[in-house]
Amino acid sequence: MYSLLHGFYQYMVQKDEFCVLILGLDNAGKTTYLEAAKTKLTKNYQGINPGKITTTVGLNIGRIDVGGVQLNFWDLGGQSELQSLWDKYYEESHAVIYIVDSWDRERVDESKEIFDRMIANDNLQGVPLLVLANKQDLPECMGVREVKPIFNKNAHLVGKRDCMVMPVSALTGDGVDEGIKWLVDCIKRNAFARPPRNSEDP
C-alpha cells in the first residue's frame, strides 16, 4: 500500500522535464548566464563568483524549476573545436538559448555564421530559440536594435518557430529571468511536437 501511495505521490508532484541548450562562441558569457539564471530562479542558491568562472571545456549542466516545469540546461563549450559536438545534443533538446557577445563586434560575423549552421540542422526544426545580446552592462556594446537585424538576415532558417532577441547582462543578472520565463511558455506550447523527457520514459 505504501509503495502505491508513494508512487501516486511521485506522479502528482513530478514536473515535466525539458532540456535547453546554451550555445554561442567561447567567451560570449554562457556559463556566467547559467549561473545568473540559477541564482535568480533557485531559492537559496549561492552562485559562483563571476570572476572565478573559467572557459567551459565540454559541458556544464544546471537545473532550474520554473513555471511548473524542470529545465535541464546544457551549457556547451563554444571553442571552434567543440562546436562539432553540439549536434550530438540537438535531437534531445527542447529549446536553444544562443548567446551573442554584443560587445565583441569583431566576432559578430563569426557568431552569425555558427548560428546559421546551427538552426539549419534538421534536428532543431521547430525548436524555440532565444537569442540573447549579452554584456549590455559594457559601454559601446551593440543593442538589440543592432543585433536583431544581423541575426534575422536568414529568417527562412528560423522558420515559424518561436524566436526572440533580448538584451541581457549575465554579469548583473538584468534580463535573465524574463528570457527564461518567455522560453518556458514557448516550450510548453511546443510540447506536442517535443514532449517532455519524462513522458518519453518507458
Reported confidence tier of residue 109, pLDDT bands at 50, 70, 90: very high
Q: Residue 191: is its pLDDT beyond 90?
A: yes
**pLDDT class of 8 with cuts at 50, 70, 90:** low
Q: Please give the tally of structural domains in the chain.
A: 1
Domain that holds residue 104: 18-55+66-190
**Binding site feature residues for GTP:** 24-31, 78, 134-137
Q: How far apart are CA 39 and CA 172, in angstroms?
A: 11
* 8, part of any domain: no
Is 11 a domain residue? Answer: no
pLDDT of residue 202: 38
| Residue 4 belongs to some domain of the structure | no
Residue 157 lies in a domain: yes
User: Comparing 8 with 75, which gets the higher pLDDT?
Assistant: 75
Q: Residues 119-157, buried b or exposed e (16+ Cβ, 10 A)?
A: beeeebeebbbbbbbbbbeeeebbebeebeebbeeeeee
Q: Would you say the C-alpha torsion 130, 131, 135, 137 has a positive or negative sign? A: negative
pLDDT at residue 136, rounded to an integer: 97
pLDDT at position 171 is 92
- CATH code, 131: 3.40.50.300
Could you give the percent of the chain with pLDDT greater than 90?
67
Catalytic pick from 10, 14, 70, 79? 79
Q: In what order do the strands lie in the sheet with 16-23?
A: 59-66, 69-76, 16-23, 95-101, 129-134, 163-167
For the record, the C-alpha cell of 87 comes out as: 549536434
pLDDT of residue 122: 94
Q: Residue 24's closest CA among 122, 136, 144, 129?
A: 129
Single out the residue of 196, 174, 15 nearest to residue 95, CA to CA.
Answer: 196
Decide if 87 is inside a domain. yes
pLDDT digits (tens, 9 = 90+) for 25-54: 999 999 999 999 998 888 776 666 666 556
For the chain, the farthest-separated pair of C-alpha atoms sits apart, in whole angstroms, at: 64
Residue 93 lies in a domain: yes
Of 9-18, 38-47, 168-177, which gets the smallest average pLDDT? Answer: 9-18
Residues annotated in the binding site for Mg(2+), as ranges? 31, 56
d(CA 53, CA 76): 14
Within a domain: residue 42?
yes
Q: What is the pLDDT of residue 49?
A: 63
Given a cut of 50, whether residue 201 has pLDDT beyond it is: no
Higher pLDDT, 180 or 6: 180
The whole-number pLDDT of residue 110 equals 95
Is 160 a member of any domain? Answer: yes
79 assigned to active site = yes
Mean pLDDT of the chain: 86
Pair 166, 132: CB distance under 8 Å = yes
Q: What is the pLDDT of residues 130-169, one digit of tens each?
A: 999 999 999 999 999 999 999 888 888 888 899 999 999 9
